[in-house]
Amino acid sequence: MSTLQISLAIAGGLVLAGVVAHSTWSSRRNAPRQALPEAGDAAGHAGRVAQADGTEPSRTEPTFDDDLAAPPLPVPEKKPGMDALIDVIAPIALDAPVSGDAALAAMPPTRRAGSKPFAIEGFNEAAQHWETPAPGQRYSAFQAGVQLANRTGALNEIEYSEFVMKAQAFADAVNGAPEFPEMLDEVARARELDQFASDHDAQLGFSLRAQRAAWSPGYVQQNAARLGFVPGVIPGRMVLPASTAGLPPLLGLAFDTQAAMADDPAQSALREVTLSLDVPQVDRGEQPFTRMREAAAALCAAMDGIVTDDNGQPLVPEAMDVIGTDLEQLYDTLDARDLSAGSALARRLFS
């Protein structure tokens, strides 16, 4: 082989090596970022290695400090009762008290009239208050109710008729006499309430977009978990819990469900996740919008992302300040209507 042939072979080998190296570098650069081992995982791995070497890993004994004891869990809010502000209520008079067992047996099989929640409450003789019928109790009166509006729209004539049929059937079973409000008046009231709710329903969303390398689902979950987010019921969804157990979450974080359910999620590439706030569902005292801005900033800083609106335009702090001002006005309007954000009535109406 001549010197020229050897030189060409070497040059060809170097070019091939360069192409392979560049391909490997590009592949790693474009691969979705992966979750990193947490400190606890590393410590556990070190302990296992030490045991495998025959040495005893160091141990940290737990300490107890009364001053650092976890506070008691808040008591979940009781199920809200009917309210004339957002419900049609039909009183049911009785000739004689009725047991809770008999009332439960007379309940309709479904608790809806069309798309609207339907309920029966009894006046507990012993406790002297209205409640959902319970075994072992006695009731001197009942009332049936149906919600005037929710996010599916206003109560209509067909739904009102279904409400009347369900309430009448219950009243007949307990030997009661119902008194129904005028249908046209209640339907008109439902439309007015629905119009108000439609005009003051706010569901905010921020898009967090990757600026360079994409994210794997595990990478997003790990960074969100550090801010207090926990897995939701649906794959690809996480929530930031409220400070009181049983209440709706403060914020939601969602990404592609298919990516979360892939055979190997680590290979799924996410370039966008959505941070959301359902304004009427969360008490303004929780400062949910401030928490939303903080969470968006923290996630973008940790994952090399940027906050945008639905159209992909970056959301600058000045634009977020305007949104915050508008939200305060919305909160004031809901307060004035006795439908404060996060209240039981608001959560029912905006659902």
pLDDT tens-digit profile of 144-162? Answer: 999 999 999 999 999 999 9
Q: In Å, how far from its chain's centre is CA 323?
A: 21
State the pLDDT at residue 7. Answer: 56
Q: Which residue has the higher pLDDT, 304 or 38?
A: 304
State the pLDDT at residue 213. Answer: 93
The ranges assigned to domains in the chain are 87-199, 203-349
Task: Provide mean pLDDT across the span 189-207.
Answer: 97
State the pLDDT at residue 21. Answer: 47
Quote the CA–CA distance of 124 and 139 in Å, as a whole number.
5
Residue type at 142?
F
Alpha-carbon distance values, 36 to 219, 222, 237, 329 (Å):
8, 8, 20, 43
Task: Provide mean pLDDT across the span 172-186.
Answer: 98
How is residue 255 written in tokens? 């990404």
- Integer-rounded Cα radius of gyration of the chain: 30
State the pLDDT at residue 306. Answer: 96
Quote the CA–CA distance of 158 and 116 in Å, as a whole number.
11
Nearest to 342 by CA among 279, 289, 273, 292: 279
Quote the CA–CA distance of 170 and 175 in Å, as a whole number.
9
> Is the full-model pTM beyond 0.85?
no
Residue owning tokens 């709706």: 248
Give rounded-to-5 percent helix, strand, coil for the chain. 45, 20, 35
Residue owning tokens 């929710």: 150
Share of the chain above pLDDT 90, in %: 71
State the pLDDT at residue 207. Answer: 95
Per residue in 38-79, pLDDT (tens digit) is: 655 544 444 443 444 444 444 333 333 333 333 343 444 455
Nearest to 171 by CA among 114, 83, 116, 95: 95
Quote the CA–CA distance of 326 and 20 in Å, as a whole number.
55
Instruction: Name the CATH topology of 87-199.
Output: Cell Division Protein Zipa; Chain: A, (3.30.1400)
Share of the chain above pLDDT 70, in %: 79
| Weakest-pLDDT range from 3-12, 82-91, 105-114, 248-257 | 3-12
Q: Same topology for domains 87-199 and 203-349, yes or no? A: yes
State the pLDDT at residue 37. Answer: 76
Q: What is the dihedral of CA 85, 87, 91, 92, to 10 degrees?
A: -160
Residue owning tokens 């319970």: 134
Per residue in 24-36, pLDDT (tens digit) is: 444 455 567 777 7
Q: In Å, how far from its chain's centre is CA 5?
A: 69
State the pLDDT at residue 32. Answer: 74
Q: Does the structural domain 203-349 have CATH classification 3.20.20.80?
A: no
Q: pLDDT band at 81, cuts 50/70/90?
A: confident
Quote the CA–CA distance of 167 and 163 in Å, as a whole number.
6
Per residue in 226-248, pLDDT (tens digit) is: 999 999 999 999 999 999 999 99
State the pLDDT at residue 45. Answer: 43
Burial class from Cβ neighbours inside 10 Å (0-12, 13-18, 19+) for residue 48 reads exposed
Q: What spatial distance separates the first Cα and last Cα of the chain, rounded to whole Å?
A: 82
How is residue 338 written in tokens? 């006795």
Alpha-carbon distance values, 268 to 35, 171, 207, 216, 255 (Å):
13, 57, 18, 6, 11
How is residue 186 written in tokens? 């209640």
State the pLDDT at residue 309. Answer: 85
Sorted by sequence, the CB contacts under 8 Å of residue 114 that are 6+ apart come out as: 155, 156, 158, 159, 162
**Bridging pattern class, strands 251-254 and 272-278:** antiparallel
Alpha-carbon distance values, 253 to 102, 119, 277 (Å):
45, 33, 9
Q: Is the pLDDT of residue 185 over 70?
A: yes
